[in-house]
Structure 1
Amino acid sequence: TIHGESIVMRLLDRSSVFLPFDRLGFSARTAEAFEGLIRRPHGILLVTGPTGSGKTTTLYAALDKINAPDRKIITVEDPVEYQLKGVNQIPVRPKIGLSFASGLRHIVRQDPDVIMVGEIRDLETAEIAIQAALTGHLVFSTLHTNDAPGAVTRLQDMGCEPYLVSSVLNGVLAQRLVRRICLACRAPDHPEPADLLAIGVTDASDVQLFRGKGCDECRGTGYRGRIGIYELFRLTEEGRSLIVRKVPAGELRRHAVEQGMVMLRADGWARACAGMTTVEEILRVTQEDT
């Protein structure tokens, strides 16, 4: 710039990258369903959300949960943010031609049981991941989509064949991070009816909600720490049929909800009812969730 260099710096707090599976903040129902997906023998499991929504932390927790001496796990990441004991982790190195796609291609030849690809960014990576799943591997990866069913649309937009996606995709977890109310200054809150309606709540008269007033403990913000809110889409036979038919994303989403998927805002509302976060926070991180 005219005043000198402009720098953006990312500080990696390794102590916050890894959390045990039981500290991710899943509801009991979501935890049971997600654990079932990560213990499948083969297929693809995707975690979606914007940058900084905790996707890598969730995948690390999943790998740690299923890690065992007799299970070979290999990852290709950009970068390797946390070293997992007993896991072969490979950092992407563009200068020598080691990309997600090329790394994944070589990983498959190493006879792994589980593969984690940091992100599916292009058709080449997606196709290799699908082929790996078809040949008996369990593949974890991430995408940038607004919701869980939207991951299917993103793969199709990349150029993946719908029949292949329907064959290998086991499930998709969408997630966001919301700020946790500071316990030192927590006080009753009365959100605007319009805000409640925006997250699908018509009557909150029987619920005690909270917000942080701001104090020295939270530096006046009213929040201290963060928690996750989640949306888990598990593929059923009917869902696979809808994917093959290339139905619009909205129809796939309606099917997922009918099959019991709890949407991000609904999961966030449960956290608000438990006194963990605010309606304002839920709306802030789910602006695209309509």
Structure 2
Amino acid sequence: GLDISEKRLPQDGRFQIRVKGQTIDVRMSTMPVQFGESVVMRLLNQSNGILELEATGMPADVVKRLRRIMQSPHGMVLVTGPTGSGKTTTLYGVLSELNQPGVKIITVEDPVEYRLPRINQVQINHKIGLDFASVLRTSLRQDPDVLMVGEMRDQETAEMGLRGALTGHLVLSTLHTNDAVSSTLRLIDMGAAPYLVASALRAILAQRLVRRICPHCKARYQPDELEQTWLTHFQAPSSLQFFRGMGCQSCNYSGYKGRIGVFELLVITKPLADALRRNDPDAFAQAAYGDADFRTLGSMALDYASQGITTLDEVIRVSEYVELDSGGVR
């Protein structure tokens, strides 16, 4: 909890409030600044329950492939993206589907965001030395079927999670990377052995959140010169039409209302695993972008833009890290 008398040090805390019959979990972060304290609060509606995978905006074909991977009794599945991209929401959606009688699930989180029935949830406490690596080491001796590690933060946690995935456990975790392809390189850069990554990793789901166009003020428009240049570079069909919100009272004149997820799912095939074992990032990227089943974040976002769900501005924002030599948006 927070010590309200301490204003010289950064602090984290949480509390619950009831608003109109709903339970709101408030995560709070404070930081001392020149003229007082900066306070940021994150609101989590515990009454809404866990989103189903389809409710995140995940396309049916991605959901189907992800569910097939989730049926595997062992292996690692990573969910990647920057802070605030919805990784935790997706992980909880996966856990809720795996949470069946007879399936033992242990989660290691910092902090526990949603409380789930039948799941053993452990919250990290650095003050007493309860970190990801120590809890993960103990969890592997607790006979779990599924392990969820909130984040792969260091070499010890990464290697322990990968070894756990090779010894009969399904391991779920997150990484802060910009796309699916770079996630494997990040694991290896952290110190995980390439053969271990190649043997244990089953799939990587990268995601972003894009803003939805406000339905009350949506209008068609012609992309400007910069946007046309981007579309040409990524070989987007010239027949596509685009929309944006003009701004109205309903969206507080922002042109946007709500958000939706965009995803790319990279399943580790034999050619990809072979490239990982050789620690050959160029061959890995070439095999990934050449996979007929792999669609990039930019490709999915562009589909949403052409359907009038989001704007071209949002597409360009989530596509800024897409490999430019990958043969265009797929």
Structure 2 length normalisation: TM-score?
0.83
Query: 2 CA distance for matches of 1:253 and 1:33?
Result: 21
State the alpha-carbon separation in 1 of the partners of residues 55 and 264 from structure 2.
17
Describe the SS at the equivalent of 1:44: strand
Task: Give the match for residue 274 of structure 1.
Answer: 307
CA distance in 2, matches of 1:196, 1:216: 30
1:119 partnered with 2:112: no
Maintained 8 Å contact 1:14/1:82:
no
User: Residue 4 of structure 1 is aligned with which of 10, 29, 35?
Assistant: 35
Is this contact kept in 2: 1:177–1:228, CA < 8 A? yes
Decide which moves more: 32-41 or 264-273: 32-41
Q: Which residue of 1 aligns with 2:81?
A: 49
Pairwise CA RMSD of aligned residues? 1.8
- Give secondary structure in 1 for the equivalent of 2:263: strand
1:128 maps to 2:160: yes
Other-structure match for 2:61: 29
Question: 23-32 vs 250-259, which deviates more?
Answer: 250-259
Measure, in 2, the Cα distance between the counterparts of 1:196 and 1:115: 45
1:93 matched to 2:86? The reply is no
1:210 Cα offset (Å): 1.1
Q: Secondary structure at the match of 1:217?
A: helix
Per the alignment, residue 224 of structure 1 pairs with 257
Q: Matched residues in 2 for 1:147 and 1:167: separation?
A: 20
Deviates more, 1:88-97 or 1:199-208: 199-208
Separation of aligned partners in 2, 1:188 and 1:204 = 17
Give 1:67 deviation, angstroms: 1.4
Aligned residues: 289
Alignment of 1:204-243 (within 5 A): 204-243=237-276
Using CA pairs under 8 Å that are at least 6 residues apart, name the structure with larger relative contact order, 1 or 2. Answer: 1
Structure 2 portions without partners, runs of 5+? 1-31, 324-330
Secondary structure in 2 matching 1:150: helix
SS at match of 2:158: helix
Using a 3 Å threshold, how does the CA distance of structure 1 residues 197 and 8 change in structure 2: closer, same or farther?
Answer: farther
What TM-score do you get using the length of structure 1 for normalisation? 0.94
Is 2:196 the partner of 1:177?
no
Closer, same or farther: CA 78–221 of 1 in aligned 2, 3 Å: same
Question: Does the residue aligned with 1:109 lie in a helix, a strand or coil?
Answer: coil
CA–CA separation in structure 1 for the residues paired with 2:239 and 2:315: 19
Point out where structure 1 has 5 or more consecutive residues left out of the alignment: none
Aligned residue for 1:187, secondary structure, equals strand
Distance 1:92 1:281, change over 3 A: same
Q: Percent identity?
A: 46
- 1:14 and 2:45 aligned: yes
Q: Is the 8 A contact 2:50 2:96 kept in 1?
A: no
Higher Rg = 2
Distance in 2 separating the partners of 1:117 and 1:106: 13
The answer on whether the counterparts of 2:298 and 2:318 sit within 8 Å (CA) in structure 1 is no
Q: Which amino acid aligns with 2:288?
A: A
CA distance in 2: counterparts of 1:75 and 1:277, whole angstroms: 34
- In the alignment, what sits opposite 2:316? 283
**Equivalent position to 2:173, from 114, 130, 141:** 141
2:112, 2:245 → 1: CA distance? Answer: 35
